[in-house]
Amino acid sequence: MEINGVFIEDTFAEAFPIWVSRVLITAATERLAKIAATEATGFGCSVIMCPAEAGIEKYVSPEETPDGRPGYIVEICHPKKSELEHQLLERLGQCVLTAPTTAVFDAMGEDADEQLKVGFKLKFFGDGYEKKDKVGERTVYKIPIMGGEFIVENKLGVKKGVAGGNFFIMADSNMTALTAAEAAIDAINTVEKTITPFPGGIVASGSKVGYTNPKYKFMVATTNHKMCPTLKGVVEDSEVPEDVNGVYEIVIDGVDEEAIKEATKAGILAATTVKGVKKITAGNYGGKLGKFQIKLRELFE
């Protein structure tokens, strides 16, 4: 199969279940809201080494928020529900409560499988001076701080989502692959309920589980040598075609499989419009890692 003249490999991206929370952060200005959202999702690329996977999903206009102020929806993900709650408390407590004029609201809504008492637990920062209140129909806590009041919704919804959706962009040069990756991210950013947790949404250093070099037994993950263009004439099991000199990976997390599929399709379509892209493939472990298989060609049938 080819799309826009680019070969789409007959393979699948292997994704796995993950707990996800969808949180709305608002502030007095869009700039302040984005700063808080960026801080809250920092160090959130991969649970291989990061304490959570996290990213900014989208901007929300004042007309759509509970308090009539600009905001950003972020997604924070972890394989364990208890650890997700811990990450919500740490990230919202340290990165958002400390940020000027911010407020936090649930953005999962009816999609939630459960609700965690994150706001209830954060209220104790108020040292007994906090108060329970309402913002519209939402129960919130107002915590007095030097900057006025920090407002946080009592409960935040969580659900079993999907992590690890992915595809690889292979192109004639590194810059071509990067241009295509940026186009893919721009397209994915229009798909709600998904995030691309790596820096700018683009993975430069894709990894494999474990190691190849027996001296590196202490490593949990190492470079995906099969996909390194500089090794295509060095390693026998290279999967980089002769005419490919640039490879980037896109990783997608989201609230459900359908959102991941929609984002994957949008990203691939955008990437294939860039001249010089040769091939689109995906990473999997033969179905041994996760129960979700995002089959690339089926997205376009």
**pLDDT per residue over 165-193, tens digit each?**
999 999 999 999 999 999 999 999 999 99
pLDDT band at 195 (very low <50, low <70, confident <90, very high): very high
Mean pLDDT estimate for the chain:
97
pLDDT at 40: 98
Q: Are residues 110 and 130 in the same domain?
A: yes
pLDDT at 288: 78
pLDDT at 287: 81
* Phi, psi (deg, nearest 5) at residue 78: -155, 145
* Phi, psi (deg, nearest 5) at residue 217: -65, -15
Confidence check: pLDDT of 58 > 90: yes
Looking at the chain, the whole-number percentage of residues with pLDDT higher than 90 is 98
Classify strands 277-281 and 6-8 as parallel, antiparallel or unpaired: parallel
Q: Are residues 58 and 144 in the same domain?
A: yes
CB 7 within 8 A of CB 290: no
Domain count, the chain: 2
pLDDT at 73: 98
Given 159, 186, 214, the domain boundary residue is: 159
Q: Are residues 207 and 119 in the same domain?
A: no
Q: How far apart are CA 155 and CA 143, in angstroms?
A: 15
What average pLDDT score do residues 6-35 get?
Answer: 98
pLDDT band at 99 (very low <50, low <70, confident <90, very high): very high
CATH of the domain at 256: 3.30.70.520
pLDDT band at 268 (very low <50, low <70, confident <90, very high): very high
Q: Are residues 213 and 137 in the same domain?
A: no
Q: Are residues 185 and 249 in the same domain?
A: yes
Q: Are residues 201 and 128 in the same domain?
A: no
pLDDT band at 116 (very low <50, low <70, confident <90, very high): very high
pLDDT at 221: 95
| Residues in contact with 219: Cβ distance below 8 Å, sequence separation at least 6, in sequence order | 210, 211
> Residue 201's closest CA among 220, 214, 188?
188
pLDDT at 286: 83
Which residues form the domain of 41? 19-159
pLDDT at 52: 98
Confidence check: pLDDT of 275 > 90: yes
Q: Are residues 259 and 178 in the same domain?
A: yes
Side-chain half-sphere CA neighbours of 45 within 13 A: 15
Confidence check: pLDDT of 151 > 90: yes
CB 145 within 8 A of CB 194: no
pLDDT at 77: 98
Q: Are residues 31 and 126 in the same domain?
A: yes
Q: Residue 253 pairs with which residues in a beta bridge?
A: 195
Q: Where is pLDDT greater, at 209 or 278?
A: 278
> Residue 143's closest CA among 173, 120, 114?
120
For Cα atoms 25, 49, 293, give the angle at the middle one, nearest 5 degrees: 80
pLDDT at 285: 84
Q: Is 244 helix (H, G, I), strand (E, B) or coil?
A: coil
What average pLDDT score do residues 55-71 get?
Answer: 98
Q: Are residues 48 and 35 in the same domain?
A: yes
What average pLDDT score do residues 137-165 get?
Answer: 98
Q: Are residues 146 and 32 in the same domain?
A: yes
| C-alpha to C-alpha distances, 136 to 6, 66, 114, 173, 175, nearest whole angstrom | 50, 7, 21, 53, 49
Q: Are residues 178 and 247 in the same domain?
A: yes
What average pLDDT score do residues 200-215 get?
Answer: 95
pLDDT at 290: 84
Given 129, 159, 189, the domain boundary residue is: 159
What is the dihedral angle through the alpha carbons of 65, 36, 115, 138, rounded to the nearest 10 degrees? Answer: -30
Confidence check: pLDDT of 9 > 90: yes
Confidence check: pLDDT of 289 > 90: no
pLDDT at 168: 98
Given 126, 159, 192, the domain boundary residue is: 159
pLDDT band at 276 (very low <50, low <70, confident <90, very high): very high
| Residues in contact with 51: Cβ distance below 8 Å, sequence separation at least 6, in sequence order | 43, 44, 78, 83, 87, 90
CB 246 within 8 A of CB 177: yes
* Phi, psi (deg, nearest 5) at residue 4: 55, 35
Q: Are residues 287 and 233 in the same domain?
A: yes
